[in-house]
Amino acid sequence: MSKEMYDAIVIGAGGMGSATAYHLAKSGAKTLLLEQFHRGHTFGSSHGDTRIIRLVYEKQFYTELMKSAYAEWRALESVSGKALMFVTGSVLITPDGHEYSTSIRASLEAAGIESEWWSPKQLASRFPQFRIDKNQSVLWQKDTGFLHASECVLTHLQLAEGHGAEVREQTAVTGIDWERDVPEVITEGGRLRAKKIVVTAGAWAKQLLSKLNLPLTVTRQQIVYYRPTDASLFQPDRFPIFIDVTWDEFFYGFPVFGREGVKVARHGKGQVVSPNTCNRTPDAEYIDHLRAFLKERIPDAAGEALYAQVCLYTETPDEDFIIDAHPDCPDVLIATGFSGHGFKFCSLVGRILSEMVREGQTRFDINPFRLDRFGEHL
């Protein structure tokens, strides 16, 4: 066994683990980050060009946390000198009086965040790319945008290394042994010791912590890029983030960024899979279904599918995150179950976990993410 003792070992170099390693290393902690694949791989949840960042949430505690997450992303841009966050505003399109948009509006108001109801006419004058019916409503929120996702992960990793963190790729953790004075991480290459262990293993967290029986379901999700009739109509300064629930499904999309085409996806309804055996080839049916939606809503974006990709959600029963200490060992911290909406929080989750490692607590309200809410499952 290596005699080396780390302040913290972080397991998993996705969005959460890379941000955690950065905050830990920056604060002077001797940090080791272990990743089973290579950095930037496409088997987990954090790869790809874009992720939505928004204050728009039904649950106000997310909106409150997002105020801090925005500040963290801006700080990351500032220290790295890279543009990582692009604010475009968002339109949320729902049937008139829909519970989803009215509760989001209430949550934003309670958090003191501006939003506006737009008439179909207002939408047409601001974003003529959309076609909507008279009985549909539009909620505009100006602070929404997107993060350059894969670049955010790489930036956190590079900065973590710049602060002295060691990042070991192609190193799978096969177990964690906390029944010792100092907890140990088990890898094929041997055991590694750390005062604290942080599990940010995404879709693999359940198998790594199998004794805990975490109530996590891994689902297969797909994103598709469609060729627009005129790409200039869909640049980030002319086209916003959109979310649309009018088909009783949750569609969302982005301006053109990172690669040719307008990126569109359906949130949720993914097939339950294992992260180890998941089919990574996108479904033709899904691609056609999204194009049918685009033909109705954004006809100029409903061209040929240029590129599609599979990605994983790790879902909890209530779709709220898990950020907590292991019930049997306070030195093992767990952050998973980001339920398809966690990326925008990476920068903040990194800070939160770093505080928990160093100080045993965080100043942010993570009560909604406690493990004991699943009492009967664990």
Ligand X SMILES: Cc1cc2nc3c(=O)[nH]c(=O)nc-3n(C[C@H](O)[C@H](O)[C@H](O)COP(=O)(O)OP(=O)(O)OC[C@H]3O[C@@H](n4cnc5c(N)ncnc54)[C@H](O)[C@@H]3O)c2cc1C
Catalytic residues: 47, 50-51, 263, 267, 311, 344
Choose between 58 and 131: whose C-beta lies nearer to ligand X. 58
Instruction: Compute how many other C-beta atoms are within 10 angstroms of the C-beta atom of residue 45.
Output: 24
Task: With residue 217 as reference, give the H or E element that holds it.
Answer: strand 217-226
Contact criterion met (CB below 8 Å) for 116 and 104 = no
Residue given tokens 């891994």 in the structure block:
218
Q: What is 226-248 written as a DSSP string? A: E--S-GGGGSTTT--EEEE-TTS
Task: Tell which one of 9, 13, 138, 332 touches ligand X (CB under 6 A).
Answer: 13
The residue nearest ligand X at its CB is 14
Tell me the C-alpha distance between 57 and 250, whole Å.
14
203 lies in the binding site for ligand X (CB under 6 A): yes
Torsion over CA: 178, 181, 183, 189 (sign): negative
362 lies in the binding site for ligand X (CB under 6 A): no
What is the total count of residues that contact ligand X (CB under 6 A)?
37
Choose between 128 and 190: whose C-beta lies nearer to ligand X. 190
Task: Tell which one of 6, 8, 31, 36 touches ligand X (CB under 6 A).
Answer: 36
255 lies in the binding site for ligand X (CB under 6 A): no
Tell me the C-alpha distance between 229 and 247, whole Å.
24
Sheet of 85-87, strands arranged across: 50-53, 145-148, 85-87
137 lies in the binding site for ligand X (CB under 6 A): no
Task: Tell which one of 136, 141, 144, 221 touches ligand X (CB under 6 A).
Answer: 221
Binding segment (CB under 6 A) for ligand X, from list 30-38, 78-86, 225-233, 367-375: 30-38
Residue given tokens 């958090």 in the structure block:
111
Choose between 100 and 375: whose C-beta lies nearer to ligand X. 100
In whole angstroms, the minimum distance from the beta carbon of 123 to ligand X comes to 22
Site for ligand X in 159-188 (CB under 6 A): 172-173
Contact criterion met (CB below 8 Å) for 231 and 42 = no
Site for ligand X in 48-107 (CB under 6 A): 51-52
- Which stretches of the chain bind ligand X, using CB under 6 A? 11-17, 34-37, 44-46, 51-52, 172-173, 200-204, 208, 221, 223, 265, 311-313, 336, 338, 340-344
